[in-house]
Amino acid sequence: MSEDAVDADAVHHVADLARVALTESEAERFEAQFGDILGYFDSLDEVPEIERESDLVNVMRPDEQRPSLNQDEALDNAAETEDGYFKGPRVS
């Protein structure tokens, strides 16, 4: 986007991908700001390829049943529930 211009369509496209609706004034501000910010990120082009030594190790534990939230606790913060389930909007 930094090499290409950041236009309103690009902002709306990425907002759709991220599932975030925007007001028109937000979209306008983002259009200008994203050009600046992504332009700044372009400095990463100067970073050499680095040989990475991974110091990561897998941490495993026995696969045993443990207590977790019960159904009521899991639903505590939901705006809408039905028969002990989350109730969401229609899928399509």
Site membership for another protein, residue 71 (CB under 8 A): no
Q: Which residues between 26 and 45 bind another protein (CB under 8 A)?
A: 26, 29-30, 33-34, 36-38, 40-41, 43-45
CB count, 10 Å around CB of 30? Answer: 19
Alpha carbon distance 46, 40 (integer Å)? 12
46 touches another protein by CB under 8 A = yes
| Cβ-based nearer residue to another protein, 61 or 83 | 61
List Cβ<8 Å contacts ≥24 apart for 38-46: 38/1, 38/2, 38/6, 39/2, 41/2, 42/2, 42/3
Interface positions with another protein (CB under 8 A): 1, 11, 14-23, 26, 29-30, 33-34, 36-38, 40-41, 43-52, 59, 61, 69, 73-74, 76-80, 86-92
